[in-house]
């Protein structure tokens, strides 16, 4: 076995990526197998509960030797717990330098909502190679969310679902819809955009449209409920019409007239 | 306002009318031209609320005045796209005990397409 080329051994382990038990056994073959096996074993980490996060922290107390560098997809379901852990352990979140996909769910009592802005700040620029961001929040401070989005220059896929705007201090004095200052760089935005905003998509939609850099999304999954979102939906589709390959539009409103006019050819 | 006429790289489009009106779908599809060479499939969701609607054969009663006519216009538009540009239509609805009822509705709402076998019915979970 030791005479086999490394590429071949890597390929054998790669084929086991969906099978946790064999991967764990591979980890015990020899020291030389640990790294290639961990790359698969820890490719996706889902902190479903506060306990799972605590368990990770206890098992891998030293970030420099922890398998966090192998993590490509990180799922956070208790952002307030992550914020607390990071404050306690000191820049714990920074230990995931090769993250490609970040998923953050922010469900829970409204009393946590004010702290979610800290969560967005915490994850800002967490990894320079992030290509996919999914945010599913009941309440969110939209300005911080957008700062988070813009902190990933290679971002291709963006999904923002189930969100309600939750104003924070920095949002006071404006309706949140005025044109923000242009950032120095823009994400790539060349993959998919999913927006599902039951309470309206104007906060995120207008911010996206305000970017002077080009959006080149190839896939849209847009669900709107409010009539006010129809022109925004139309504008987003028009902005990316040159690159769009896949379109999935859901209309949940009971109104019909303005929907019709939004899609009317010029 | 915009139309899909500039989206010439479009490969597939899914429309999910959760409400009564489907006029907006017809208008969007009317912008499709021979320049949309890559567009091969259009999918239309049947509103799931139909599954819970008992109409005793009177579909216009379930959909509301004028809405059945909108579906028939959409039916003709989809048939035209199939005949002129070979764009196939999928009709989708959630898998469940109401499959039979929804199949009947699909034939009523898109009669031309169903009669000529130009529509594929797909159940989605």
| Structure tokens that stand for A228 in this block | 């006010």
CA distances from A189 to A53, A180, A240 (A): 31, 18, 10
Of A242, A245, A266, the CB nearest to B1: A266
Q: How far apart are alpha carbons A248 and B12 in whole angstroms? A: 8
Backbone angles phi, psi at B106, to 5 degrees: -60, -40
Q: Which residues of A touch B93 (CB under 8 A)?
A: none
Mean pLDDT, rounded, for A136-141: 72
Interface residue B10 vs chain A (CB under 8 A): yes
Residue B7 to residue A262, Cβ atoms within 8 A:
no
Q: A260 falls in which pLDDT band (50, 70, 90)?
A: very low
pLDDT for the residue A34: 87
Q: Which residues of B touch A260 (CB under 8 A)?
A: 21, 23-24, 27
pLDDT for the residue A127: 87
Of B6, B9, B45, the CB nearest to A245: B9
B36 vs B1 pLDDT, higher one: B36
Residue B23 to residue A260, Cβ atoms within 8 A:
yes
pLDDT for the residue A264: 47
Q: Mind spelling out the 3-state secondary structure of chain A?
A: CCCCCHHHHHHHHHCCCCCHHHHHHHCCCCHHHHHHHHHHHCCEEEECCHHHHHHHHHHCCCCCCCHHHHCCEEEECCHHHHHHHHHHHCCCHHHCCCCCEEEEEECCCHHHHHHHHHHHHHHCCCCCCCCEEEEEECEECHHHHHHHHHCCCCCCEEEEECCEECCCHHHCCCCCCCCCCCCCCCCCCCCEEEEECCCCCHHHHHHHHHCCCCCCCCEEEEEECCCCHHHHHHHHHHHCCCCCCEEEEEECCCCCHHHHHHCCCC
**A116 C-beta neighbours (distance < 10 Å), count:** 25
Mean pLDDT, rounded, for A73-91: 78
Interface residue B24 vs chain A (CB under 8 A): yes
Angle between helices A229-239 and A202-210 (to 10 degrees): 30
Mean pLDDT, rounded, for A189-208: 83
B71 vs A3 pLDDT, higher one: B71
Residue B6 to residue A238, Cβ atoms within 8 A:
yes
The angle formed by the CA atoms of residues A71, A109 and A77, to the nearest 5 degrees, is 10
Q: Which residues of B touch A250 (CB under 8 A)?
A: 16, 18, 45
pLDDT for the residue A257: 38
Mean pLDDT, rounded, for B53-58: 65
Domain coordinates of chain A in residue numbers?
A: 1-41, 42-262
Interface residue A17 vs chain B (CB under 8 A): no
Residue A84 has pLDDT above 90, yes or no: no
3-state secondary structure of B40: coil
pLDDT tens-place string over residues B21-51: 888 899 999 999 999 999 999 999 888 777 7
| Mutation site for B-interface testing, chosen from A241, A242, A254 by largest number of B Cβ within 10 Å | A241
pLDDT tens-place string over residues B63-97: 777 888 999 999 999 999 999 999 999 888 777 76
| Mutation site for B-interface testing, chosen from A221, A258, A259 by largest number of B Cβ within 10 Å | A259
Residue A258 has pLDDT above 60, yes or no: no
The angle formed by the CA atoms of residues A40, A43 and A47, to the nearest 5 degrees, is 135
pLDDT for the residue B33: 95
Q: Which residue of B has its CA nearest to A220?
A: B13
pLDDT tens-place string over residues A36-57: 899 899 999 998 888 888 888 8
Q: How far apart are alpha carbons A37 and A11 in whole angstroms? A: 11
Q: How far apart are alpha carbons B59 and B65 in whole angstroms? A: 10
Interface residue A250 vs chain B (CB under 8 A): yes
What are the DSSP calls for B94-125, one per residue?
E-STTHHHHHHHHHHHSHHHHHTT-EEEEEE-
Beta bridge partners of A101: A73, A132
Interface residue A251 vs chain B (CB under 8 A): yes
Q: What is the mean pLDDT of chain A?
A: 79
Which are the contacts of A248, defined by CB distance < 8 A and separation ≥ 6?
A: A219, A220, A221, A222, B13, B14, B16
Interface residue B15 vs chain A (CB under 8 A): yes
């Amino acid at each position: 076995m030791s005479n086999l080329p490394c590429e071949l051994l890597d390929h054998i382990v790669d084929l086991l990526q969906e099978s946790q038990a064999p991967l764990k056994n591979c980890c015990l073959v020899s020291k030389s197998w640990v790294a290639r096996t961990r790359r698969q074993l820890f490719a996706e980490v889902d902190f479903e509960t506060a306990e799972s996060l605590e368990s990770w922290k206890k098992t891998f107390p030293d970030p420099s030797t922890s398998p966090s560098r192998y993590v490509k997809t990180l799922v956070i379901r208790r952002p307030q717990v992550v914020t607390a852990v990071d404050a306690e352990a000191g820049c714990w979140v920074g230990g995931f330098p090769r993250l490609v996909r970040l998923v953050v769910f922010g469900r829970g009592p409204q009393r946590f909502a004010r702290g979610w802005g800290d969560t967005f700040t915490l994850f800002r620029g967490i990894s320079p190679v992030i290509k996919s961001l999914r945010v599913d929040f009941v309440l969110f401070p939209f300005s911080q969310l957008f700062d988070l989005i813009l902190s990933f220059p290679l971002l291709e896929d963006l999904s923002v679902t189930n969100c309600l705007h939750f104003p924070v201090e920095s949002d006071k004095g404006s309706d949140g819809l005025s044109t923000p200052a242009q950032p120095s760089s823009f994400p790539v935005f060349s993959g998919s955009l999913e927006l599902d905003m039951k309470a309206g998509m104007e906060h995120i939609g207008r911010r996206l449209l305000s970017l002077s850099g080009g959006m080149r999304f190839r896939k849209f999954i847009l669900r709107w409920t409010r009539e006010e979102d129809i022109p925004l939906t139309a504008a987003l589709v028009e902005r990316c019409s040159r690159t769009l390959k896949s379109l999935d539009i859901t209309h949940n409103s009971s109104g019909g007239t303005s929907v019709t006019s939004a899609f009317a050819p010029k | 306002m915009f139309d899909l006429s500039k989206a010439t790289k479009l490969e597939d489009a899914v429309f999910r009318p959760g409400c009564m009106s489907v006029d907006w779908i017809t208008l969007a599809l009317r912008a499709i031209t021979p320049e949309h060479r890559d567009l091969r499939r259009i999918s239309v969701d049947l509103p799931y609320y139909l599954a819970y609607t008992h109409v005793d054969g009177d579909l216009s009663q379930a959909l509301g005045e004028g809405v059945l006519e909108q579906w028939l216009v959409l039916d003709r538009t989809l048939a035209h796209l199939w005949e002129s540009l070979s764009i196939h239509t999928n009709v989708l609805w959630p898998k469940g005990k109401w499959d039979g009822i929804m199949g009947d509705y699909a034939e009523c709402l898109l009669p031309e397409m169903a009669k000529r076998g130009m529509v594929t019915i797909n159940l989605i979970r």
